[in-house]
Amino acid sequence: MKLLVIEDEVMLNRSIVKLLKTQQYSVDAAYDGEEAIDYIRATNYDVIISDIMMPRLDGLGVLKYLRNHQIKTPVLMLTAKDTLEDKVTGLDAGADDYLVKPFEFDELLARIRVMLRRNNREILMSTVQFGDCCLDFIKKTVTKNSSLVDLTAKEYALLECLVRHPNVILSREQIREHIWDFDYEGESNIIDVLVKNIRKKLENPMVIVTKRGMGYVFKSEEKE
């Protein structure tokens, strides 16, 4: 899952990004609204976390841009203001949730999970079973016959990305956008290497199906 954090307080921004990365999210960071829009124009995000009071363009301005361009990405607004009027203004502008500073990181993570579930209606449960394997979206783990599978962070992120879009062919570029930061520059065959590793560790070459010239797809057994 790919997230964008928009926050002009540098230390808070870095803290949020660091936290989210420990949860295996791919995260980009912007420090004002105009920079954020540049990111939004370049890639798609699963959730956007935005401060309201920022230089150049505030959070409400970013929200207005998103909704005017029919971008339905869930947005969680962060603010030091806790009056009812401020909350109503943000929600009426198209925000999906509202969190007042200071906040607990556990609450932030919980609210992000709620928005991801709403935005991925094809998967409303916390786990998905496929064959003798089980993927847990909350714990960010995969087990095989109840034993933990030792996936790397990127291997897990790739598998989750595909599982959240069952029976949908995702190109290598779409996968790359979801599991790496915007400025990532790496080997061109890295997606293929990760897929090979996942298949080997799960001892199931068909858990991810290759569509030659198109990309990869996770075949949902429930729809077979």
What are the tens digits of pLDDT across the range 100-159?
Answer: 888 999 999 999 988 887 766 544 467 888 889 999 987 889 999 989 999 998 899 899
The two beta strands, 47-51 and 215-217, are: unpaired
Contact 176, 183 (CB under 8 A): no
Average confidence (pLDDT) over 25-52:
92
Q: How many residues does the chain have?
A: 224
Contact 191, 176 (CB under 8 A): yes
| SS3 of residue 144 by DSSP | strand
Taking Cα atoms as reference points, which of 78, 61, 65 lies closest to residue 7? 78
Rounded to 5 degrees, what are φ and ψ at 216?
-130, 155
Of 50-54, 64-68, 145-149, 188-192, the poorest mean pLDDT is in 188-192
Average confidence (pLDDT) over 70-90:
80
Rounded CA separation 160/2 (Å): 11
pTM (two decimals): 0.64
Task: Detail the DSSP E strand segments found in 158-220.
Answer: 209-211, 215-217
Average confidence (pLDDT) over 51-75:
91
Rounded CA separation 22/13 (Å): 15
Mind listing the domains of the chain with CATH numbers? 2-119 (3.40.50.2300), 127-223 (1.10.10.10)
Average confidence (pLDDT) over 168-172:
89
